Amino acid sequence: MHSPIKNALTIDVEDYFQVSAFAQHIPRDQWPSRECRVERNIDRILGMLDDHKTQATFFTLGWIAERYPQTIRRIVDSGHELASHGYGHERASNQTPDIFYSDIRTAKLILEDLAGYEIKGYRAPSFSIGASNLWAFECLERAGYAYSSSIYPIRHDHYGMPDAPRHAHKIGELLEVPATTLRLLRRNWPASGGGYFRLMPYGMSRWMIQRINRTDNMPTVFYFHPWEIDEGQPRIDGIGLKTRFRHYVNINRMEMRLRCLLNDFPWDRMDRIFLGTAA
């Protein structure tokens, strides 16, 4: 049964070699020499969204946009929202305020030049805004963003702010829209996509989204990455077993599950759902 609430579908546009878990294995100066697969994967995603007459928000790295402007224009021309994922996928928690501001401002200008409209949204790489760097929200507001989707209210070994509000809330003039969690047994459980979506049975993810829509009467924010539908991506040598499992588990089932998700729920762009506007 379709939910009466429209949920936000988001894609974090980065390539397989740019994920934070691989940072110790793939130096940034090697990025230009790596096989880049983001173009073909974005084309597949755009085709899938077109098949289901669905529009989404693409949180995009400035590094990607500079190198693949035609891909960015295809996203915009298809009616999707272009938003910022920063420039070089550096975790916000690893930056100083000045460096962070420069990163998010540079990315915004690059994306606006390609899109031809104001970039309103931002998502921190690896949900890396938390209790230790709340100064980042002042930087985002100063850089001209209207909303962020950078906090994940869960406990995780790499990120998370479990005591943060679970739904959209104002921080200053900026709207923060956290990744979605389900409150159950006095704990927040991840219900937003990514590796959790690949790991859990699809029926569990569907139940969690339905429960949030019906019990909280709120939209969910779902995310995934282009590399998560790419079975043919080069395998990275030397990574630990946990990292390998997290990155590659059920990649071969991801597109099928996404198509089920698009059939089972109505989806739209972040700006339309949470700001009530669209470019």
Q: Quick: pLDDT tens for 213-227.
A: 999 999 999 999 999
Report pLDDT for 157.
Answer: 58
Domain ranges of the chain: 7-275
- The CA distance from 246 to 194, in Å, is 10
Q: Higher model confidence: residue 187 or residue 64?
A: 64
Cβ atoms of 148 and 176 within 8 Å: the answer is yes
The length of the chain, given as a count of residues: 279
- CATH for 7-275 is 3.20.20.370
Supply the pTM of this predicted model.
0.94
Q: What is the mean pLDDT of the chain?
A: 93
Q: Quick: pLDDT tens for 118-161.
A: 999 999 999 999 989 999 999 999 999 999 999 999 876 566 68
pLDDT of 3 > 60? The answer is no
Q: Map tokens 């939209």 to a residue.
A: 219
Is the Cα torsion angle 165, 167, 169, 171 positive or negative in sign?
positive
